[in-house]
């Protein structure tokens, strides 16, 4: 009985010890497996946050760099260019530009080419300080005995009216005679000029110390032009 009882007690004690060790191993294993998971979770959260923050920082810095690299006023340059294009047309004469009056211009005469002096050039210079339109041709009367205006040559008419800015000149070629010795020329030391649409008489001194010789039957005048042109002003 003693031997059987002792064996039983030893068996029970062994079983208890095995169960106790198994329980301890089970508890220890569960704790070990949960800690790494928790540790990874805790560690990964800051890492993810740091990555996000880094991305935000890089994005913000890149945006700032792009903004600083963008040419300042690039959009405004287009506007400035348009304004410049529009401003470039501001000096052109229009229909609202007033016609030149006698008080707006100074008319002078000079001989053209050498002898025989068959032509003179009239210059009308704008002295008004503002732009004006010089239309038509000079209405010229050389002699008191011939009240008719000198006829104008149609081919010399410019395509558009001449607009004179302040200080700018216009020209008109005037034929005096054919230069023949047998012509009925008369000496002229001064003559009258009127502008288109203005009845004011402008007295012009003839060039040369002896004046000019005019054949009223041969005299012709060209239209006012910004410059004398070969062909159109040859008559």
Could you tell me the pLDDT band of residue 93, with boundaries at 50, 70 and 90? low
pLDDT at 95: 66
- Beta strands across the sheet bearing 190-194: 139-141, 190-194, 202-205
Q: Is the pLDDT of residue 12 over 90?
A: no
Instruction: Name the DSSP class of 99.
Output: B
Rounded distance, CA 226 to CA 171, Å?
A: 6
Give 76's pLDDT tier (boundaries 50, 70, 90).
Answer: very low
pLDDT digits (tens, 9 = 90+) for 150-197: 999 999 999 988 999 999 999 999 999 998 878 889 999 999 999 999
Buried b (16+ CB within 10 A) or exposed e, 123-162: ebbbebeebbbbbbbbbbbbeeeeeebbebbeebebeebb
Mean pLDDT (whole number) for 92-102: 81
**For all residues of the chain together, what is the average pLDDT?**
72
Specify the range with the lowest mean pLDDT, choosing from 10-14, 225-229, 231-235: 10-14
The answer to whether residue 98 scores a pLDDT higher than 90 is: yes
pLDDT of the residue at 146: 79
Integer CA distances (angstroms), 39 to 45, 46, 51, 124, in order: 10, 11, 18, 101
Please state the rounded mean pLDDT for residues 218-229.
95
pLDDT at 126 over 80: yes
**Can you list the alpha helix ranges (DSSP code H) found in the chain?**
2-69, 74-87
Q: Within 10 A of 107 (CB to CB), how many other CB atoms are there? A: 19
pTM over 0.75: no
Distance in angstroms (rounded) separating the CA atoms of residues 222 and 207? 18
Least confident of 41-45, 94-98, 112-116: 41-45
Residues of the chain with pLDDT > 70, as a percent, come to 60
């Amino acid at each position: 009985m003693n031997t059987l009882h002792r064996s039983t007690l030893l068996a029970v004690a062994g079983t208890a010890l095995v169960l106790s060790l198994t329980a301890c191993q089970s508890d220890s294993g569960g704790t070990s497996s949960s800690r790494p998971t928790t540790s990874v979770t805790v560690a990964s959260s800051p890492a993810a946050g740091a990555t996000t923050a880094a991305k935000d920082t890089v994005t913000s810095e890149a945006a700032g760099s792009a903004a600083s690299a963008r040419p300042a006023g690039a959009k405004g340059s287009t506007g400035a260019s348009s304004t410049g294009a529009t401003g470039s047309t501001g000096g052109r004469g229009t229909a609202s530009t007033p016609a030149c009056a006698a008080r707006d211009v100074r008319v002078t005469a000079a001989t053209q080419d050498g002898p025989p002096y068959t032509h003179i050039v009239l210059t009308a210079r704008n002295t008004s300080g503002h732009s004006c339109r010089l239309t038509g041709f000079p209405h010229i009367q050389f002699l008191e005995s011939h009240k008719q205006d000198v006829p104008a040559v149609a081919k010399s008419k410019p395509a558009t009216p001449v607009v004179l800015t302040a200080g700018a000149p216009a020209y008109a070629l005037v034929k005096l005679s054919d230069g023949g010795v047998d012509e009925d020329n008369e000496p002229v030391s001064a003559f009258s000029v009127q502008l288109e649409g203005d009845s004011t008489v402008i007295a012009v001194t003839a060039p040369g110390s002896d004046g000019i010789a005019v054949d009223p039957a041969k005299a012709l005048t060209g239209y006012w032009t910004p410059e004398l042109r070969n062909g159109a002003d040859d008559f």
